[in-house]
């Protein structure tokens, strides 16, 4: 990974460090809490946090005694997280500045892989590739948890309910809100930058990769969580194994 790759990645992902307001923070806090609860981390667990940002999730898991590898393409964010971990004497937290799509880990090396609000920038084929890679990196019986904005292009009633509620809440914010409605409509319809997919699309990707015990639910607004387990005894070998 070169510095210029990291820099361009940083420019594309400055949202990690942006302050998007109180609603955004409280929504993200609910997502973080849902991920941490689903993780059920125990001391010594080997956990990978993909797109860790400044470490909302990683820090909480490391505080429970887990050994966390926190990965993000934003070098400033991981350096800041490294400093925070040092200040809190969290020796089990290690950081890695790397785009998720360039990540390679040893097979069966993780007990748990988590990711919170970091995958919606990946194109669909890259999401599926990552789900398959996560399966490969997890030990049999290990768990993969994805929390992210999860909605499609308005073809399902759930999508339409999410879009209606977003439009309603922005419309209450006056001219600025209407401007954001216009901006977001373009962004989500054209999908140049963000590529969210629905909860059912995530569930299907997990199933295709071989995960079992898949659970999926909506956390708040458009945020959803999908988790699945790599079977302890594989029904058949995973692709590439």
Ligand X SMILES: C[S@@+](CC[C@H](N)C(=O)[O-])C[C@H]1O[C@@H](n2cnc3c(N)ncnc32)[C@H](O)[C@@H]1O
- Dist CA 99 CA 102 (whole Å): 5
Please, what is the minimum distance in Å from the beta carbon of residue 25 to ligand X?
10
73 belongs to the binding site for ligand X (CB under 6 A):
yes
**Residue closer to ligand X, measured from CB, 20 or 86:** 20
Q: Is 13 in the site for ligand X (CB under 6 A)?
A: yes
Q: Residue 49 forms beta bridges with which residues? A: 70, 114
Among 6, 74, 142, 225, binds ligand X (CB under 6 A): 74
Site membership for ligand X, residue 52 (CB under 6 A): yes
Per-residue x/- track, 113-152, ligand X (CB under 6 A): ---xxx--xx------------------------------
Residue 223 beta carbon to ligand X: minimum distance, rounded to whole angstroms: 11
The residues with which 220 forms a beta bridge, in sequence order, are 223
SS3 state at 42: coil
Tell me the window of 39-47, 66-74, 168-176, 209-217 that interacts with ligand X (CB under 6 A).
Answer: 66-74
What is the torsional sign of CA 46, 70, 4, 86? negative
State the minimum distance, in angstroms, from the CB of residue 143 to ligand X. Answer: 17
Q: What is the DSSP letter of 187?
A: H
Applying CB under 6 A, the span of 61-69, 110-118, 170-178, 208-216 interacting with ligand X comes to 110-118
Alpha carbon of 206 to those of 41, 133, 187, 210: distances in Å?
A: 21, 11, 26, 7
How wide is the angle at C-alpha 72 spanned by C-alphas 15 and 81, nearest 5°?
85
Residues in binding contact with ligand X, number by CB under 6 A = 21
241: DSSP letter: -
The Cα 82–Cα 33 span in angstroms is: 21
Piece of 11-19, 85-93, 104-112, 151-159 that binds ligand X (CB under 6 A): 11-19
Strand 110-116 and strand 67-72: the pairing is unpaired
- State which of positions 76-105 bind ligand X (CB under 6 A): 77, 99-101
Between helix 3-12 and helix 75-87 the angle, nearest 10°, is 90
Which residues of this chain interact with ligand X, rule CB under 6 A? 13, 15-16, 32, 51-53, 56-57, 72-74, 77, 99-101, 116-118, 121-122
């Amino acid at each position: 990974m070169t510095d210029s790759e990291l820099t361009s990645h940083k420019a594309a992902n400055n949202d990690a460090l942006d302050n998007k307001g109180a609603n955004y923070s409280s929504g993200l806090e609910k997502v973080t809490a849902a991920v941490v609860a689903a993780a059920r981390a125990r001391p010594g667990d080997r956990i990978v946090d993909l797109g860790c940002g400044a470490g909302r999730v990683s820090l909480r898991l490391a505080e429970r005694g887990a050994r966390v590898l926190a990965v993000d393409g934003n070098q400033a964010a991981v350096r800041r997280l490294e400093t925070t971990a040092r200040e809190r004497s969290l020796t089990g937290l290690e950081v890695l500045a790397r785009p998720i799509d360039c990540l390679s880990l040893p097979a069966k090396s993780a007990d748990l892989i988590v990711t919170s609000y970091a995958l919606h920038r990946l194109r669909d084929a890259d999401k599926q590739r990552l789900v398959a890679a996560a399966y490969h990196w997890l030990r049999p019986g290990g768990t993969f948890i994805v929390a992210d904005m999860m909605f499609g292009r308005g073809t399902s009633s759930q999508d339409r309910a999410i879009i209606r509620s977003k439009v309603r809440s922005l419309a209450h914010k006056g001219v600025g809100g209407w401007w954001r409605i216009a901006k977001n409509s373009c962004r989500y319809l054209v999908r140049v930058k963000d590529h969210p997919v629905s909860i059912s699309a995530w569930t299907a990707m997990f199933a295709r990769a071989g995960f079992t015990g898949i659970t999926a639910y909506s956390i708040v607004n458009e945020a959803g969580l999908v988790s699945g387990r790599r079977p302890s005894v594989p029904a058949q070998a995973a692709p590439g194994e």
